[in-house]
Amino acid sequence: MIQQNISLKPFNTFGIEQSAKYFVSFSSIDMLKSALVDPETQGLEKLVLGGGSNILLTKPFNGLILKNNLRGISIQKEDEKFVWVKSMAGEGWHDFVMFAIQNDFGGIENLSLIPGNVGAAPMQNIGAYGVEIKDVFHELEAMDIETGDEVRFTKKRCQFGYRESIFKRAFKNKYIITSVTLKLTKQHTLKTSYGAIKDELKNITHPNIKDVSDAVIRIRQSKLPDPKEIGNSGSFFKNPVIPMAQFKLLQEKFPEIANYPVNKHFVKIAAGWLIDQAGWKGKTIDNYGVHKNQALVLVNYGGASGENIYQLSEDILNDIKSKYGIELEREVNIY
């Protein structure tokens, strides 16, 4: 069941060549439990992998990779307004969104076409076009990697933030999320505040959730590099959220700075704008670089190493810090 010395290249969307000492794919909770107590891998580091679309592999992995293949979607309960839908963690996120659209369950249409698995979605509270998974999150089930105990996490316990949760911080690599239950709507409130969505929908008098999903899919396909063609892990950096006073000073120096107020005290700066203005957009070094249309996306044109990409991210971080005084934070998980 447990394989040895496996190439991880097919398992990360950056297309980075790295090896794993041990590798197992699990499609049931029992398989997962036996993998966790296997004598050969006791005491070794364990890493759960979904679609590999939010990781950068910088060195060989000397422990056990647990590739999540838990499948199944079920309706837990419903009332007139809401439906509670549980998805096992190994389902593809976009497949799950399509299941919701086909059944006219609303709330995640703006999150169409995000790569990866359902189980990784709470990890960074996936978000796009003004919606985050936390907006519809009900609960998740997870297994403690050390003890094998099965635990439930309510929304409060997940400590969701902007591309953040407790699983990215205090509980990183401590739990394997096995299922996620979302509370979806039967009567929908569409979120079309992002300019690109409004534009796409301007000729539809009464758009529905499928129209929003289709619009998001069209926009994403026109702007983002497809990892099947160019290796990438989506946005490499988070958009920084800075205090209003710091923003005012920056705006005096850079009146065009792309910004979105979060509340009275904080402002979100588009990291893509900073990287673009600093001259990095489209920059290519050998076989890797910064995407030509999306300054937030670092790309591997083929054969680049994880260290190459990491060093590029370091160079960008330092340059942004010196030009704007802003410390960018990596969104992608580095291993």
Beta strand 131-132 with 137-144: parallel, antiparallel or unpaired? unpaired
Closer to ligand NAP by CB, 135 or 331: give it: 331
Closer to ligand NAP by CB, 90 or 240: give it: 240
Is residue 74 among the annotated active site residues? no
Binding mask of the shown chain, residues 157 to 176, with x at each position contacting ligand FAD by CB under 6 A: ----------x-------xx
Q: Could you tell me the two tokens for 101?
A: 């659209």
- C-alpha 45/C-alpha 246 separation (Å) is 41
Q: Which one from 163, 164, 200, 313 is the annotated catalytic residue?
A: 163
Best CA proximity match to 83, nearest among 61, 104, 60: 104
Is residue 322 among the annotated active site residues? no
13 binds, among ligand NAP, ligand FAD, none (CB under 5 to 8 A by kind): ligand FAD
Q: Which one from 53, 87, 179, 235 is the annotated catalytic residue?
A: 235
Candidates 8, 108, 177, 269; binder of ligand FAD (CB under 6 A) is 177
Closer to ligand FAD by CB, 219 or 274: give it: 219
Q: Is 169 a residue that touches ligand NAP (CB under 6 A)?
A: no
CB 281 within 8 A of CB 295: yes
- C-alpha 176/C-alpha 166 separation (Å) is 13
- C-alpha 38/C-alpha 45 separation (Å) is 13
Phi, psi of 263 (to 5 degrees): -160, -165
Q: Is 89 a residue that touches ligand FAD (CB under 6 A)?
A: yes
Q: Could you tell me the two tokens for 144?
A: 């403690």
H-helix segments, 29-79: 29-36
Side by side, the strands of the sheet bearing 284-285 are 231-235, 297-300, 288-290, 284-285
Q: Is 224 a residue that touches ligand FAD (CB under 6 A)?
A: yes
Is residue 163 among the annotated active site residues? yes
Best CA proximity match to 229, nearest among 8, 4, 1, 14: 14
- C-alpha 252/C-alpha 259 separation (Å) is 13
Min dist CB 231 to ligand NAP, Å, is 14
Q: Is 224 a residue that touches ligand NAP (CB under 6 A)?
A: yes
H-helix segments, the chain: 29-36, 93-102, 155-158, 195-200, 209-223, 244-253, 271-277, 306-324
306 binds, among ligand NAP, ligand FAD, none (CB under 5 to 8 A by kind): none
Q: Is 196 a residue that touches ligand NAP (CB under 6 A)?
A: yes
Q: Is 128 a residue that touches ligand NAP (CB under 6 A)?
A: yes
48 binds, among ligand NAP, ligand FAD, none (CB under 5 to 8 A by kind): ligand FAD
Min dist CB 194 to ligand NAP, Å, is 5
- C-alpha 93/C-alpha 268 separation (Å) is 26
Q: Could you tell me the two tokens for 126?
A: 């996936």
Candidates 223, 248, 292, 321; binder of ligand NAP (CB under 6 A) is 223
Provide the binding-site residues for ligand FAD, judged by CB under 6 A: 13, 47-55, 68, 89, 114-117, 119-121, 123-124, 126-128, 167, 175-177, 224, 227, 232-234, 333
Provide the binding-site residues for ligand NAP, judged by CB under 6 A: 127-130, 193-196, 223-224, 234-235, 239, 260, 270, 272, 294, 331
Catalytic residues: 163, 235, 331
